[in-house]
Structure 1
Amino acid sequence: MGKMVVFLNPETYLTDKIVVQQTNSIFKSEVEQGDYMAPERITAAVTWRRPTENEWQRGYRVVLDHFKEVREIVWHRQGDYFATLMPEGIHRSVILHQLSKWRSQLILGKLKGRVQRVLFHPKEPLLFVATQASVHIFNLKRQCRIKKVQANCRYISCIAVHPGGEHFVIGGYDRKVNWFEMECTKRPHLMRFHGHAVRSINFHRKYPLFASCSDDKKLQVTHATVYDDLLKDPYIAPVKLLRGHKTFDDYYVLDVAWHPYEPYLFSAGADATIRLWH
């Protein structure tokens, strides 16, 4: 919410009272910081704090105050780490956090251009940071940037990583969808599925499917098979074109997300509706 990142305990929606009580007891306990002292550059960008009494009654359990407006929060697969994105933060746009220890750190290296998206690798300790014209891949263990990929589009709008981890897809405001291979990033597969700006792309965790949405009133579902043979190109074929949202101020579908197990697709439209497709 604005410059705040709030951790909530949704007591109203959880029927298991034991889970609710255990969660509250964890957040009431003191966090062991040890001898760790955050650099001034980090404390000036983000501050961890406990909620006030009024905030606690509203369900707040931990509050992070950032120095700029937060646009996106992405979680690591293990659940203890997450990253926040502040496009106006310049060299402090991306901050990594550890919930269990209340620690934050900046990624190493200065990035040119406005940061658009941030995404964790599904298997390896890698972080994808997409600026307007390129994608930077950071190794979180080695604390360094290992690769810079020049995007084949004018302005990056979204990024999605294949569940296998060897491929990723970039969408742009110039209508392009580019499929990259991690080991061969200089020759992307260009897919012209849309006639206007691409807003979001998302892979299904289980099925060989990915979805993309655009302002051209198209919600495209595409089949994508990745082979074990690295010399063999992936098989990509459009499957279904979904329509149902209404246009508002020249915007159509703004975001898409797959169900983690079932072949169900959620779409959030500019018409203030969320729709479920199956």
Structure 2
Amino acid sequence: MLELTVMKNLMIAKPPTRAILPKTSLPQAPPRNTVGEIPLEFYKDEEHIGYDRAGRKLKKQARKDQLDSFLDRSDDPKDWHKVYDEYNDEYVELTKEEMGMISRIRQGKLPHAEVDPYQPYVDWFDWDGKGHPLSNAPEPKRRFIPSKWEAKKVVKLVRALRKGWIKLDKPKEKPRFYLMWGDDLKVNEKTANGLAYIPAPKAKLPGHEESYNPPVEYIPSEEEINSYQLMYEEDRPKFIPKKFDSLRHVPAYAEFIKEIFERCLDLYLCPRTRKKRLNIDPDSLLPKLPKPKDLQPYPTTCFLEYKGHTGAVSSISADPTGEWLLSGSRDGTVRVWEVQTGRCKKVWDVGGSVFCVAWNPNPALPVVAIAVSNDVVLLDPEVGDEEVQLNIAKLLAVQPSTSEPTENTPLISWKRHDKLRGIQLSHQQNVVRVSWHNKGDYFQTQQQSCFGTSTIKAAKSKPFPQASWPPFMFVATKMHVRVYNLAKQELSKKLITGLQEISSMALHSGGDNLILGSKGAKLCWFDMDLSVKPYKTIKNHKEDINAVAFHKSYPLFASCSDDLSTHVFHGMVYSDLMQNPLIVPLKILHGHQKGVSDIKFHPTQPWLFTAGADSVIKLFCN
């Protein structure tokens, strides 16, 4: 082993002191360290480097830093003659002869000066009187043609190289060290024939109950001991703890031979199997989703509260401009709020519990529909200019129906509501939900069966006759969603939800995706281009889901529940049919003292309105 150091601007190769033994030098003393030619890596974590001839440990010396080495070179002019012997952990000073040998080796000469590589050649053969060479035989033919056997050998080597039998860049094998008296060779003997060796399970170690002085809670009573006799033999405890005053009072264990015999039977008769466990990182099973901060904006903070109702707020709806908010409550009132300030502009007393309110999505015709008991009331919120008010007045100035509902007459009748100055549409059953068409020309009411109502003609129409409006209508039953094609007057699709009971439904603005909320606290996302079964089922709420909603322009949707929370999600629907929708949970909103009954997104901003059973409406902004 050679060490290279820079001394006085010269690169000097310093071999170990044991390798330099010139003829002129005296034989050196034997090395102190007796470990032999073993790697010094074995002692890198030890405080010694080996043992001397007396068996004593050789302590490691403190290594000098660069400053100490510089001072030594400045004080001692012969310091550069010293080399470090790592086996003996000491510095050895080279003699003049050894320095001369190193200098000659660096110059490409022989180490010893007394050796002459250019001595005159002595020809020991006497050529005098010889007229011919020693052998005058002609050269054989084989010396002038290629060797046939060498060609075969070359072909064999080339074939071995091509097939990978001979590897030119084969890595060097590192020396493997093993315990001289280890028991790992026994395992190799058992697996030498290719048989899988499975070690026997270890015997159960004794616990606190097998102590001669166990705790009081481990000692059973007489009744418990008698109850053990009524158990099956495999269910009985194998050991009944007993308490002794001292260890010398403990008798011999009566069941010792029986337990040893049963263990021997288990080792002899019971086959052993090795259970294969998959070593999978749980994080690798989760889908890689973007971070919520990269998906902003979305509602995060409660910005404003709308207070005024005395009962639970059952339903809310925002106008298409985003300036006004409509709310209905169980206290029998309907209120119109200004979104920016929280000011209550108008209050209607409808005289009954309000089930649902809906604002017409057509901004040119701001009419609100209110579901109260068996009636649907159309009212003017008085939020438009004079031209809009004239259009609403013409719309609401309809003649009342003259016939009473019978088996052969329409199931819906309408009349003027003088108190509220609107139109009252009477149904035969309680109206639980009202929803408008996107154009604002039609709305439908939900009872035990569905009916579509035209606000232009003020006449009832079932969904099956042909019409110029979009031909699909979604009807949610208790466990299924039926999609009707109104142009063909047939059932187009039936979505299989697998839910306990559907409580709410929301349709994406693209028309191909649908979300459902259920009484079993589950949220289902349907991609109708993909399947009639849910694309994703999310169970994030602890109690029943009351409402779900999509945002019209932002990739957001939300759900609210009786567990006082509202969950906001990122739901991106791609135009590429080969790419599935991306669903990412964003935020959990809290703030209501009682369950959240309804939610609605702002038409143009990433804001969310929540209505609670605590009679408070909250606005969450980004």
Scaled by the length of structure 2, the TM-score of the pair is 0.37
Q: Contact 1:42 / 1:105 at 8 angstroms: preserved in 2? A: no
Contact 2:555 2:570 in 1 (8 A): yes
CA distance in 2, matches of 1:42, 1:146: 29
Same amino acid, percent of matched pairs: 34
2:609 maps to 266
State whether residues 81 and 97 of structure 1, in contact with CA within 8 Å, keep that contact through their aligned partners in structure 2.
yes
Aligned 1:115-264 pairs, distance under 5 A: 124-183=470-529, 184-247=531-594, 252-264=595-607
Per the alignment, residue 56 of structure 1 pairs with 418
Contact preservation (8 Å) 1:176, 1:194: yes
Unaligned runs of 5+ in 1: 88-92, 109-122
Label 1:26 to 1:191 Cα distance change in 2 as closer, same or farther (>3 A): closer
Q: CA deviation at 1:274?
A: 0.9
Does residue 65 of structure 1 match 2:426? Answer: yes
State the secondary structure of the residue aligned to 2:571.
strand
**Distance in 1 separating the partners of 2:384 and 2:461:** 36
* Greater helix fraction, Structure 1 or Structure 2: 2
Say which SS state the counterpart of residue 186 (structure 1) adopts: coil
> Quick one: structure 1 residues 56 and 238, their matched pair in 2 at CA, closer, same or farther if it must change by over 3 Å?
same
- Normalised TM-score (structure 1): 0.80
Q: Is the 8 A contact 1:42 1:104 kept in 2?
A: no
Match of 1:16 in 2: 385
Distance in 1 separating the partners of 2:463 and 2:408: 11
RMSD: 2.4
Structure with higher Rg: it is 2
The yes-or-no answer on 1:25 pairing with 2:394 is: yes
The offset of 1:245, in angstroms, is 0.4
Higher strand share: 1
In 2, the alpha carbon distance for the partners of 1:137 and 1:218 equals 31
Counterpart AA for 2:393:
N
Which stretch shifts more, 169-178 or 223-232? 223-232
The AA in structure 2 aligned to 1:47 is: S
**Aligned equivalents of 2:378, 2:462: Cα separation in 1:** 21
Residues 187 and 204 (structure 1), Cα distance of their counterparts in 2 relative to 1, 3 Å cut: closer
| Aligned partners of 2:573 and 2:582 also within 8 Å | yes
Residue of structure 2 equivalent to 1:3: 374
Contact 2:395–2:456 (Cα < 8 Å) also in 1: no
Match of 2:452 in 1: 96
Instruction: Report the AA paired with residue 602 of structure 2.
Output: H
1:247-276 Cα offsets, whole Å, 9 max, x none, are: 2xxxx1011100111111000101111111
- C-alpha offsets along residues 74-108 of structure 1, whole Å, 9 cap, x if unaligned? 10111111101113xxxxx2111111112212345
Residue in structure 2 matched with residue 86 of structure 1 by the alignment: 447
CA contact (8 A) 1:42 1:106 kept: no
Measured in 2, the distance between the counterparts of 1:26 and 1:200 equals: 31
* Cα deviation code 1:219-246 (max 9, x no counterpart): 0000011122223221111111110001
Deviation string 1:101-158 (CA, Å, 9 cap, x unpaired) is 12212345xxxxxxxxxxxxxx942111101110000112222211111112111111
One-letter amino acid of the counterpart of residue 70, structure 1: V
Q: Which sections of structure 2, spanning at least 5 residues, go unmatched?
A: 1-371
- Structure-1 residue corresponding to 2:229: none
Q: Secondary structure at the match of 1:164?
A: coil
Closer, same or farther in 2 for the Cα pair 1:151/1:97, shift >3 Å?
A: same
Distance 1:186 1:23 in 2: 43
2:177 corresponds in structure 1 to none
